Structure 1
Amino acid sequence: MGKVLATIRLTPTDPNVDLNEIKNNIQKELGEELHDIKEDPIAFGLVALNVMVVVDDAKGGTDKVEEKLSKIKNVSTVEVTDLRRLVE
């Protein structure tokens, strides 16, 4: 077991949601686990956020992170789209 880099896609509830507010809430919730956040245009003005986090696989992987992200205001869906083991 070791550390993994996970990409988690967050879809907002509405195209008019303030993405900066969601990003700030992600930073507050995840702290040092957060590696990066990238915007990903989907369609019709809707923009998803790809959140990259580094988590310890031995401590439950992404489950706790997904739970934290799903509780953020104006987040509709949370989905792990990529998972890579880090070489230490």
Structure 2
Amino acid sequence: MGKVAVIVRVMPESPEVDLEKLKSALKQKLPGIQDIQEEPIGFGLKALKLAAIVNDAGGETDAIEGQLNTIPGVERAEIVEVTLT
């Protein structure tokens, strides 16, 4: 199987969540992360938008959301784009 680039938007539980700690936890949970950017949402809340390279085998892209949603401080993680590399 090949590799795919996945763009994921991660919404923190509140504006008080330490984004640097959250970024570190995301990198530990998903080692293929290439880039993480902060995206202002409003009222002080910022989403994290990350790009990762993962295997396109056995529904691995589907499992990413579930893995990231288990991290403390994450309200919701959703895949917004998947492209071939």
TM-score (norm 2): 0.91
Q: 1:8-55 deviations in whole A, cap 9, x for unaligned?
A: 000000011100110010111112x11111110011110000011111
Given the alignment of the two structures, is residue 3 of structure 1 paired with residue 3 of structure 2, yes or no?
yes
Question: Paired residue for 1:19?
Answer: 19
Paired with 2:47 and 2:76, the residues of 1 have a C-alpha distance of 10
Question: Paired residue for 1:77?
Answer: 76
| 1:20-59 to 2 correspondences below 5 Å | 20-31=20-31, 33-59=32-58
- The number of aligned residues is 85
- What SS does the aligned partner of 2:68 have? helix
TM-score (norm 1): 0.88
Structure 1 runs (4+) greater than 4 angstroms displaced? none
More helix by share: 1
Determine what percentage of the aligned residue pairs are the same residue.
39
Counterpart residue type for residue 82 of structure 1: E
Paired with 2:28 and 2:55, the residues of 1 have a C-alpha distance of 19
- What SS does the aligned partner of 1:73 have? coil
